[in-house]
Amino acid sequence: MKTHYKIEEITKTLQAARVSKGLSQRALSQRAGVPQAHISKIESGAVDLRLSSLIALARVLDLEVALVPRKAVPAVQSIVRSSEPAASPSTPAVVKELQRLQHTLGAISELTNGPKELAQLQRQIRELQHFRLADEHLAALKDANSVLQAVKNHKKGTEDIRRVLTNVQTLRNAIAHQTNSVSANTAARPAYTLDDEASNGSSQRP
């Protein structure tokens, strides 16, 4: 039972990484060389995960397979948790629209390799999930999704993809600038520094 739990953790990590990259099972299959049917069974826990399949999928998903000494596991887990993006604080409507965008982009990538801007757009959408988006940004996201839906249906539209990429980059940069400004204005002085230690030490000397 314990072994099954560990495998379930691995399969959930693989699935979460695939979704985060905006890849469908078919797109992941094409890149990793693992049959889509097998990926589906892996994610649903219907088949044992072979090491060869795990390595192939992990490479595409920017994950690393490694054997770690048992004593070091807590430290490694702590590092992994600290590197994970915080849960999106965006409104539910925005989160849903971002997910729709990822799904649409995944469908387009299945139909065609598309221009290089397609991969750039997928990265921008993933980055937006790490920012605080409000309902005021919803219209821009819906407009982007509407254009991409038309691209998917007609299986062409390089210029449209480039236009959406420009708009999404503008939105992302504006939100990032706003976030950085707020962080700079609210930054507080650390409660304890090395200078404090040095001054305290000197004041205690006779």
Task: Give the DSSP per-residue string, 130-181.
Answer: TS---GGGHHHHHHHHHHHHHHHHHT--HHHHHHHHHHHHHHHHHHHHHHHH
At 8-56, the pLDDT tens digits run: 788 888 887 887 777 888 888 999 999 999 998 888 888 888 888 999 9
* pTM, 2 dp: 0.45
Rounded to the nearest integer, the mean pLDDT of the chain is: 76
At 130-162, the pLDDT tens digits run: 777 777 888 888 898 898 888 888 866 788 888
- Each domain of the chain, given as residue ranges in start order, spans 2-83, 92-185
Is residue 115 within 8 A of residue 158, CB to CB? The reply is yes
Q: What is the pLDDT of residue 182?
A: 47
Which residue carries 């920017």 as its tokens?
A: 62
Which residues 6+ apart lie within 8 Å of 7 measured at CB? 45, 48, 49
* pLDDT confidence bin for 202, thresholds 50/70/90: very low
Q: What is the pLDDT of residue 33?
A: 92
Q: Record the tokens describing residue 23, joined without a space.
A: 């890849």
Q: What is the pLDDT of residue 122?
A: 84
Residue 114 has pLDDT above 80, yes or no: no
Rounded to whole angstroms, the Cα distance separating 27 from 103 reads 12
From the number of C-beta atoms within 10 Å of its C-beta (0-12, 13-18, 19+), residue 11 rates as buried
Is residue 94 within 8 A of residue 135, CB to CB? The reply is yes
Q: Which of 60, 77, 49 is nearest to 24 (CA)?
A: 60
Which residue carries 């990032």 as its tokens?
A: 176
Which residue carries 């210029």 as its tokens?
A: 159
User: Which position has the higher pLDDT, 36 or 183?
Assistant: 36
Q: What is the pLDDT of residue 206?
A: 44
The three-state secondary structure class of 37 is helix
Rounded to whole angstroms, the Cα distance separating 61 from 157 reads 27
Residue 198 has pLDDT above 80, yes or no: no
Q: Which of 94, 100, 85 is nearest to 137 (CA)?
A: 94
Residue 7 has pLDDT above 70, yes or no: yes
| Percentage of the chain lying above the pLDDT 90 cut | 6
Residue 105 has pLDDT above 50, yes or no: yes
Choose which CATH entry (1.25.40.340, 2.60.40.1120, 1.10.260.40, 3.50.50.60) describes domain 2-83.
Answer: 1.10.260.40
